Amino acid sequence: MMKYLKRVLLFIVAVVVLYGVGRLGVVTYDSYRFVERQPYMVLQTQDSLTIKWQTPKKEIGKVQYGFFQDTLNNSLSEEKATDKHQIQIQGLKECTKYFYSVSSESMDIDNTNRSFTTLCKNADAQKIWVIGDSGKKGKAQTQVYEQMLKSIDNDFNQLDMWILLGDNAYRSGTQKQYNKAMFEPYKELVKRFAPVVVYGNHDARRWAFFEIFDFPAEGQSGGLRSDSQNYYAIDNGNIHFVVLDSEDTDRSADGAMAQWLKKDLQANKKPWTIVLFHTPPYSDGGHKSDSAYDSGGRLKDMRENFVPIFDAYGVDLVLSGHSHDYERSKLLINHTGTSKTFDPKKHIVQDKGSCYTKPYKAGQNSGTVYQVCGSSSKLDHADLKHPALAFSFEKMGSLVLDVTPTTLHSKFLTIDGTIADEFTIRKDTSTCQKGTK
Domain holding 60: CATH number? 2.60.40.10
Q: What is the pLDDT of residues 409-430, one digit of tens each?
A: 999 999 999 999 999 999 987 6
Last residue of a domain, one of 82, 100, 117: 117
Sites in the chain below the pLDDT cut of 50:
13-31, 434-437
pTM: 0.92
Q: In this structure, are 101 and 169 located in the same domain? A: no
User: What pLDDT was estimated at residue 353?
Assistant: 73
**β pairing state of 348-350 and 397-403:** unpaired
The CATH number of residue 185's host domain is 3.60.21.10
pLDDT at res. 57: 97
Shared domain for 337 and 414, answered yes or no, is yes
433 found inside a domain: no
Q: Does one domain contain both 7 and 106? A: no
Domain encompassing residue 101: 37-117
Identify the pLDDT of residue 178: 98
In a domain, 432, yes or no: no
Q: Do 241 and 365 share a domain, yes or no?
A: yes
State the pLDDT at residue 351.
79
Predicted local confidence at residue 322, as pLDDT: 97
Domain boundary among 83, 117, 151: 117
pLDDT at 20: 42
pLDDT at 304: 99
